[in-house]
Amino acid sequence: MIKIGIVGGTGYTGVELLRLLATHPQAQLIAVTSRKEDGMPIADMYPSLRGRVSLAFSSPEKASLTECDVVFFATPHGVAMAQAQELLAAGVKVIDLAADFRLQDTAVFEKWYKLAHSCPELLKESAYGLPELNRDAIKKARVIGNPGCYPTTMQLGFAPLLKAGIIDAGSLIADCKSGVSGAGRKAEVAMLFSEASDNFKAYGVSGHRHLPETVEQLSKLTSEKIGLLFTPHLVPMIRGMHSTLYARLTQKTDDATLQALFEDAYKNEPFVDVMPFGSHPETRSTRSSNMLRIALHRPNDGDTVVVLVVQDNLVKGSAGQAVQCMNLMFGLEETTGLMHVPVLP
């Protein structure tokens, strides 16, 4: 059994980790920290966990995190990098669901997150936690920077095209739509039901933190300079993410070739489903599961390929991906504890 600690278990990525780990056959939950809720049974905050998680939240001081095998950080940016070194020194692996270990370029990190990076040397050894593109590094890593939800869809959607060198890497467009849970469990007026329901809007069009991470990773797949326009939108649904990606083909490519490119790229991936060419994947077809689905279109037989990508932002876009990384780091079957059938309807 893997002994597991969670720092910051009160938010949506925290409770999602708890949902997944509660039925993971190799997971043993040791401690879930929350300074504010110290002593409160977790199931009192989340009645969905009654009878399934018996632990109470404990303040960080009381939690014996150094006795864990791995600690997940489901915290705001900046928390993991402050505690990672001590844990590693005690032989504990670290998976950060926030941004502390996503960006190798600390100047870029500091520009977008307004925080100095406190352990750049640790950052260097850390692995970016997207198994489909970085599996070997993850297996050997002690520290994981778990990808953002949007970047997961953008990378898996653009990767086969960039690797094949058949699109203009300088004019990528990602028009992305996320369910509201992506904003977290913070009391904010804009995320109230009466504000976000029966409504649709874009946000952060002039700049969003998931842009630099995506560019840094995509740049590894091509020698061309990446130019990416990323437009996030808020959808009145709890979970789910749909990215509509536009890429200009630089050489004549027919539909079958495009489809084969993607099917080949992901043929051994348990969590990436390439649907038939011309499909319209729905976010609900991945709800509460670790699956990500992709479908390709080439409207008007033109020179633009449209890639539709859907996932559950809290699972493949966050907690599920983190558990997938954990499985790899501990030599387990990658799919262990992650084979939930999506809940539909």
Please, which of residues 271-290 interact with a second copy by CB under 8 A? 273, 275, 278, 280-289
Nearer to a second copy, 41 or 88 (CB): 41
Give the range of 19-27, 110-118, 121-129, 150-158 binding a second copy by CB under 8 A: 19-27
**Least Å from the CB of residue 125 to a second copy:** 31
Is residue 308 within the footprint of a second copy (CB under 8 A)?
Answer: yes
List phi, psi (to 5°) of 151. Answer: -55, -35
CA 305 to each of CA 181, 235, 257, 259: distance values in angstroms, whole numbers, following the listed order = 29, 24, 12, 11
As a whole number of angstroms, the distance between CA 30 and CA 62 comes to 12
Q: Which residue's CB is nearer to a second copy, number 80 or number 226?
A: 226
Residue 293 Cβ vs a second copy, minimum distance, rounded to whole Å = 7
CA distance 166 to 260: 14
Non-local CB neighbours of 235 within 8 Å, separated by 6+ positions: 177, 178, 179, 180, 200, 242
Q: How far is the CB of 88 from a second copy (least distance, A)?
A: 30
Is the Cβ of residue 53 or residue 127 nearer to a second copy in the bound state?
Answer: 53
The Cα-based distances of 175 to 130, 230, 308, 323 in angstroms read 21, 6, 10, 27
User: Residue 254 in 3-state DSSP?
Assistant: coil
Element (H, E) at 293: strand 292-297
Residues 141-200 that bind a second copy (CB under 8 A): 173, 175, 177, 179-181, 183, 185-189, 191-200
The site that binds a second copy (CB under 8 A) totals a number of residues, namely 84
Shortest Å distance, C-beta 36 to a second copy: 12
User: Measured from the CB of residue 207, what is the shortest distance to a second copy in angstroms?
Assistant: 7
Among 22, 40, 88, 137, binds a second copy (CB under 8 A): 22
- Nearest-approach distance from CB 163 to a second copy, in angstroms: 23
Residue 259 interacting with a second copy (CB under 8 A): no
Active site residues: 149
Tell me the CA distances in angstroms from 333 to 57, 198, 219, 325, 339, one per residue in order.
30, 42, 30, 11, 11
Distances from the Cα of 185 to the Cα of 21, 287, 291, angstroms: 20, 19, 23
State which of residues 28, 227, 250, 254 lies at the interface with a second copy (CB under 8 A). Answer: 227
Looking only at residues 316 through 345 of this chain, which bind a second copy when binding is defined by CB under 8 A? Answer: 339-345
Listed ranges 66-74, 85-93, 127-135, 235-243: which one lies at the site for a second copy (CB under 8 A): 235-243
| 25 binds a second copy, rule: CB under 8 A | no
Q: How far apart are CA 68 and CA 192, in angstroms?
A: 37
- Residue length of the chain: 345
**In the complex with a second copy, which residue's Cβ is closer, 90 or 339?**
339
